[in-house]
Copies of this chain bind each other. A is one copy, B any other.
Amino acid sequence: MFLRNCWYVAGWSHHFAEGAVVPRTMLGEPIVLYRKADGGIAALEDRCCHRLAPLSKGRREGDDLRCMYHGLKFAPSGQCVEIPGQSIVPPHARVRAYPVIEQDCWVWVWTGDAALADPALIPRALGHDDPEWWMQTGQLAYEANYQLINDNLLDLSHLSYVHENTLGRNSMSWGNSKPTVSRIDRGLRIARWVVNNPAPRYLDQPKGMLTDMWAAYDYMAAGVFLLRTRSYPPGTAAACAMQTPTAEPLWTSLTSQAVTPITEQQTVYYYSGCLNKAFASEESSKAQIAVFEQAFAEDKAMIEAQARVIAKTPEPRMLGTASDHALNQFRRLMDELIAAEEHPAKAVAAE
C-alpha cells in the first residue's frame, strides 16, 4: 500500500549528471531519469511501449531518449517521436511521463495523478544548498518495507538501544524522554528536551561536556524527516519548564532524511547532515556524517532483522507501548491519506 499522490525523493541532484540515464524503481514502478539540455530533469516510464525493454538501456539524443532495442525514440513528454521502419507514429505510442522537480539538492518525483502534483507540497529540506551551512549527504538501500523505517524515525527512544555507542552514546535520556506530538498539515511535529546529553565527539568541545538539547522535527508524508537540534548549557531545559526554548543555542544541527519505497519489500533512504559554518569546521561536518553512516548501518541491521521476522510470522501482531504514540499517529495519518486518494469523493464529503 503506497500513497501515490505524494512527492518522493528519487535521488540527490549529483546523481543526475549531464548525459547520465538513471534507472529508479519507485513505489514498484520502473522510472528512468535524465537531464535535458536546459538542465531540467525528465522522468519517464522505464519500459518501452513497443516490446517492454527498459529505456534506461537507451541513448539520450538531444532532449529525447531512444530505446536501444529496436530504436523507438521518446520525447520528455513521453510521446514516441520516431519508429524505425515506419513513417507514421501513432499518438498512442507513448510512455508515461512523471512530474519531476529539483529542489534543495533533491530530485522529487510524483507517481500519482499528475493533475494533483502541486509543487507546494514538497517539504523544504533544512540547510540544503545554503552557503552558510556545511552539507554532507548519503543514502542507504533497505530490504524492508518503508513503514518500518518511518516507525523507526518516529520513535527516537531507540537511540538509547540501537545507537547506544553512536547517536545515543552514554545517555538513557532518549529512551525516557517524552516528546510532544502535534498534528500539522500532512505530517506530525515532534519535539522534546534531551537533558544532560553528551556533546557530540565531532564538535570541538571540552571532553565530558553535557548539554540540554532541544530536538524538534517535522515528519511529513510519506516519509520525510526534518530535524533541527539546538544545544544549550545544562539546566536550560528545567529553566524553560521543559517548554520550547527561545534563547540562542550554543550550536544547531540540521538533518533532512527521505524514505522512498522501491517496492513493498525494498526501500531507499536519503539523508543529509548540516552544520553551521559559524561554529563548525568542514572536518567536523565530515566527522558528523561518518557518525550518521555508522548509526544508520545500526538501524538497517535492526530493521532488516525485524522485517525478516515479520515476513516469517503468519499473523504478525504488535504490542502497543507508550513510546509508539507518534508512530501510531503517523500510521493513521497515512491510512487516511491513502484512503482519501482511493475514494476522493468520500473524502471531500467527509470534510
> Which residues does A use to contact B, with CB under 8 Å?
28, 30, 46-47, 49-54, 57, 66-72, 83-86, 92-93, 151, 155, 157-158, 160-162, 164, 172, 175-176, 178, 301-302, 305-306, 308-310, 312-313, 316, 318-319, 321-323
Besides A83-B322, A85-B178, 7 other CB < 8 A contacts?
A: A51-B151, A51-B318, A53-B305, A69-B161, A69-B162, A86-B323, A92-B319
Chain B residues with CB under 8 A of A321? 50, 70, 72, 83, 85-86
B306 A160 Cβ-Cβ under 8 A: no
Chain B residues with CB under 8 A of A312? 28, 30
What are 30 contact pairs spanning A and B, CB under 8 A? A28-B312, A49-B318, A49-B319, A50-B318, A51-B318, A52-B306, A52-B313, A52-B316, A53-B305, A53-B306, A54-B306, A54-B309, A57-B301, A57-B305, A68-B164, A69-B158, A70-B157, A71-B157, A71-B160, A71-B175, A72-B321, A83-B321, A83-B322, A84-B172, A84-B176, A84-B323, A85-B178, A85-B323, A86-B322, A92-B319
B51 A176 Cβ-Cβ under 8 A: no
| Max count, chain B CB within 10 A of own CB: residue among A70, A72, A306 | A70
Distance of A89 from chain B, by nearest CB (Å) = 10
Bound-state CA distance A316–B50 (Å) is 11
Chain B residues with CB under 8 A of A52? 306, 309-310, 313, 316, 318
| Max count, chain B CB within 10 A of own CB: residue among A57, A71, A155, A305 | A71
Bound-state CA distance A31–B92 (Å) is 46
Bound-state CA distance A316–B176 (Å) is 52
Chain B residues with CB under 8 A of A70? 155, 157-158, 161, 175, 321, 323
Bound-state CA distance A310–B30 (Å) is 11
Distance of A86 from chain B, by nearest CB (Å) = 4
Distance of A61 from chain B, by nearest CB (Å) = 12
A306 B69 Cβ-Cβ under 8 A: yes
Chain B residues with CB under 8 A of A72? 321
Chain B residues with CB under 8 A of A54? 305-306, 308-309
Chain B residues with CB under 8 A of A85? 157, 175-176, 178, 321-323
Distance of A149 from chain B, by nearest CB (Å) = 12
Distance of A321 from chain B, by nearest CB (Å) = 5
A306 B157 Cβ-Cβ under 8 A: no
In the complex formed, the residue of B with least CB distance to A23 is B305
Q: Which of B67, B301, B309 contacts A161 (CB 8 A)?
A: B67
